[in-house]
Amino acid sequence: MCVFCAIAEGKIPSKKILESDKFLAFYDINPQAKVHALVIPKEHFKDFNDVTPSVMAEMTTFMQEVVSVLGVKNSGYRMITNIGVDGGQEVPHIHFHILAGEKLGKLV
């Protein structure tokens, strides 16, 4: 079982931010900003190439709720999903990073 499936099932503990029947948001174990959250669908998809449009549509609504709960909706944030080897993906279960809580260095 992959590490994020184990987190989704509660087999590995996580610091939860928001949970629904289909999605989970929790804090990254190795934060790269003052606020660093991860959002996953509970269903396993390897990456953005594999996820379905209907799951992404529902996840959009969930992520909008997550940034509200985090209190960063208006101050701003960055959302990243890494894909595959060149994208630097380490955990092969689609996840979106939400980085916030400070002025972030420009990437692109």
Say how far apart CA 50 and CA 66 lie, in whole Å. Answer: 23
Q: Which is nearer to ligand 5GP, 29 or 69 (CB)?
A: 29
Pick 20 or 89: Cβ nearer ligand 5GP: 89
How far apart CA 14 and CA 4 sit, in angstroms, is 10
Tally DSSP H helices, then E strands, for the chain.
3, 5
> Closest approach of Cβ 26 to ligand 5GP, in Å?
5
Active site (catalytic) residues: 95
| Interface positions with ligand 5GP (CB under 6 A) | 3, 12, 14, 26-30, 38, 82, 88-91
